[in-house]
């Protein structure tokens, strides 16, 4: 039989890491999400009754997302304007549809350093001129005005950022957000904003969705992170309606629309978001307090910078100047998993090769058990940073 002529493409390191290692993890302290809810919990917390499910007709939905789910999202994030909302199969689909529609070869696009893989992929795939906004440019919630002018130059088509940033947890203050929007407005650039972890803030208040402040914004959100429903596979974007409509041909050829069953659950969950997020944010807060003490006790081995928001951060386990840090840290993670059943993600998945992603959104007991295993491993190997 003739062999298939498959076009080779390297997968994102993050997804490949999970494909290979997630199933053997006893203690997963790597995630950028919170402890997921069971369906029984969701039904109770969101008041979904048996007859609500039984009454549902499993018909087609519509390209932009059913009215119920769009309105629930709009009421929470963009002043009720459901015309600017599209509900998608995870925010991954919203990212793919909007960036593939928006970006053109030759566009000057500024992408935040170490950004979530798909946000970086689409500008490269479109043949854009990709420039970098260094992660370190954000200090105490702001980007210095001279850096803003240097990086967001006239002619810039778009800036793509994720705040709170996965994995570092770096975020903007409200003042920092306003300064960024002012600069984008000066040059007429689009803001592409991934707010996957927007609902959990540690240092400042939760930021408003920038789509409510600056018209040329495409912002993404998801049920997969702080709402605790990664298995629902629902996300959204808030964007100008003409951009949403322009994505339909691509959606027509790929996923068409969401299941009405999924939309019903998502709409109810969005209406109960305060409850869903509140419980998990409180748990993440307790885990973060424990982690702060733990990191202090292990300061000879690791360095930890407290995140501004979200439920993960970067734990530095190797000297940034060490040669071949990516390989050393990947080996470190593999051994931690093999010998102690504990999963972390190597920072090479995010352009921080000397660190690992440590997630503190999980169940308290599991989180503490994972940190204990990490302690044992660090002490047994005597690895000092
Ligand atoms: C920053 C960020 N954006 C988007 C996504 C995509 O998530 P989903 O497709 O589950 O909404 C992720 C997933 O890890 C993420 O970390």
Could you read off the pLDDT of 44-58 as tens digits, one per residue? 999 999 999 999 999
CB of 90 closer than 6 angstroms to any ligand 1 atom: yes
Distance 116 CA to ligand 1 centre (A): 7
Query: pTM (2 decimals)?
Result: 0.97
Instruction: Give me the pLDDT at residue 384, please.
Output: 62
CB of 226 closer than 6 angstroms to any ligand 1 atom: no
Pair (201, 285) in one structural domain: no
| 384 three-class SS | coil
pLDDT tens digits, 147-197: 999 999 999 999 999 999 999 999 999 999 999 999 999 999 999 999 999
CB of 283 closer than 6 angstroms to any ligand 1 atom: no
- The residue among 250, 273, 296 that closes a domain is 273
d(CA 114, CA 172): 16
Pairing of strands 156-162, 190-194: parallel
Q: What is the mean pLDDT of residues 187-213?
A: 98
pLDDT grade for 383, boundaries at 50, 70 and 90: low
Instruction: Give me the pLDDT at residue 283, please.
Output: 98
- Asked if the structure places residue 2 within a domain, the reply is no
The number of the ligand 1 atom at minimal distance from the alpha carbon of 33 is 14
User: Atom 3 of ligand 1 has which residue's CA nearest to it?
Assistant: 196
CB of 163 closer than 6 angstroms to any ligand 1 atom: no
CB of 224 closer than 6 angstroms to any ligand 1 atom: yes
pLDDT grade for 381, boundaries at 50, 70 and 90: confident
Pair (213, 322) in one structural domain: no
The number of the ligand 1 atom at minimal distance from the alpha carbon of 115 is 1
The number of the ligand 1 atom at minimal distance from the alpha carbon of 222 is 11
In DSSP terms, which residues pair with 218 in a beta bridge?
Answer: 192
CB of 116 closer than 6 angstroms to any ligand 1 atom: yes
Q: Which of 19, 73, 92, 350 to mutate to test the pocket of ligand 1 (most atoms within 8 A of CB)?
A: 92
pLDDT tens digits, 248-271: 999 999 999 999 999 999 999 999
339's enclosing H/E stretch is: helix 325-340
Pair (254, 284) in one structural domain: no
- Asked if the structure places residue 238 within a domain, the reply is yes
Distance 154 CA to ligand 1 centre (A): 30
The answer for residues whose C-beta is within 8 angstroms of residue 111's C-beta and 6 or more apart is: 119, 120, 123, 130, 131, 132, 133, 159, 160
pLDDT grade for 3, boundaries at 50, 70 and 90: confident
- Asked if the structure places residue 299 within a domain, the reply is yes
Pair (28, 62) in one structural domain: no
Q: Which of 87, 196, 310, 312 to mutate to test the pocket of ligand 1 (most atoms within 8 A of CB)?
A: 196
CB of 350 closer than 6 angstroms to any ligand 1 atom: no
Scored b (16 or more CB within 10 A) or e, 241-269 reads eebbeebbeebeeeeebbbbebbbbbbbb
Pair (183, 240) in one structural domain: yes
CB of 112 closer than 6 angstroms to any ligand 1 atom: no
d(CA 317, CA 204): 28
Distance 55 CA to ligand 1 centre (A): 32
Q: Is 172 exposed, middle or buried (0-12, 13-18, 19+ CB in 10 A)?
A: buried
CB of 173 closer than 6 angstroms to any ligand 1 atom: no
Instruction: Give me the pLDDT at residue 385, please.
Output: 62
What is the layout of strands, in order, in the sheet containing 217-222?
85-88, 235-238, 217-222, 190-194, 156-162, 108-112, 129-133
Tell me which residue range forms the domain holding 225. 53-273
Pair (169, 215) in one structural domain: yes
- Asked if the structure places residue 3 within a domain, the reply is no
Pair (201, 129) in one structural domain: yes
pLDDT at 60 over 90: yes
Pair (201, 293) in one structural domain: no
The number of the ligand 1 atom at minimal distance from the alpha carbon of 95 is 4
Distance 90 CA to ligand 1 centre (A): 7
pLDDT tens digits, 66-125: 999 999 999 999 999 999 999 999 999 999 999 999 999 999 999 999 999 999 999 999
Q: Which of 224, 255, 258, 359 to mutate to test the pocket of ligand 1 (most atoms within 8 A of CB)?
A: 224
- The residue among 241, 257, 273 that closes a domain is 273
Q: How many domains is the chain partitioned into structurally? A: 2
From 150, 147, 149, 177, select the one nearest 161 (Cα to Cα).
Answer: 177
d(CA 337, CA 27): 9
Distance 95 CA to ligand 1 centre (A): 9
């Amino acid at each position: 039989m003739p062999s298939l002529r498959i076009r080779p493409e390297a997968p994102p390191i993050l997804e490949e890491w999970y494909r290979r290692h997630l199933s053997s993890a006893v203690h997963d302290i790597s995630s950028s999400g919170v402890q997921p809810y069971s369906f029984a919990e969701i039904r109770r917390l969101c008041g979904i009754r048996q007859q609500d499910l039984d009454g549902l007709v499993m018909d087609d939905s519509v390209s932009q997302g059913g009215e119920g789910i769009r309105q629930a999202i709009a009421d929470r994030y963009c002043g009720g304007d459901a015309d600017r909302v599209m509900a998608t199969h995870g925010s991954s689909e919203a990212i793919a549809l909007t960036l593939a529609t928006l970006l053109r070869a030759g566009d000057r696009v500024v992408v935040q350093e170490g950004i979530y893989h798909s946000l970086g992929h689409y500008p490269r795939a479109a043949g854009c001129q990709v420039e970098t906004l260094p992660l370190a440019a954000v200090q105490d919630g702001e980007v210095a005005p001279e850096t803003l002018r240097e990086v967001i130059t006239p002619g810039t088509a778009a800036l793509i950022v994720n705040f709170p940033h996965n994995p570092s947890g770096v975020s903007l203050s409200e003042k920092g957000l306003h300064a960024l929007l002012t600069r984008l407005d000066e040059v007429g650039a689009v803001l592409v904003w991934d707010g996957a972890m927007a609902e959990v803030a540690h240092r400042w208040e939760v930021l408003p969705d920038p789509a409510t402040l600056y018209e040329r914004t495409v912002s993404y959100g998801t049920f997969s992170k702080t709402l605790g429903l990664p298995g629902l596979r629902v996300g959204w974007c808030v964007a100008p309606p003409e951009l949403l409509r322009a994505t339909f041909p691509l959606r027509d050829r790929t996923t068409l629309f969401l299941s009405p069953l999924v939309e019903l659950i998502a709409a109810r969950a969005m209406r109960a978001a305060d409850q869903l997020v509140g419980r998990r944010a409180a748990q993440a807060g307790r885990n973060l307090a424990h982690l702060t003490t733990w990191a202090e006790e292990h300061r000879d081995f690791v360095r930890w910078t407290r995140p501004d928001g979200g439920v993960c951060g970067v734990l530095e386990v190797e000297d940034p100047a060490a040669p071949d840090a990516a390989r050393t840290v990947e080996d470190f993670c593999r051994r931690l998993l093999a010998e102690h059943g504990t999963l972390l993600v190597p920072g090479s998945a995010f352009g921080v090769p000397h660190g690992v992603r440590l997630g503190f959104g999980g169940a308290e007991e599991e989180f503490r058990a994972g940190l204990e295993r990490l302690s044992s491993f660090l002490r047994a190997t005597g690895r000092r940073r």
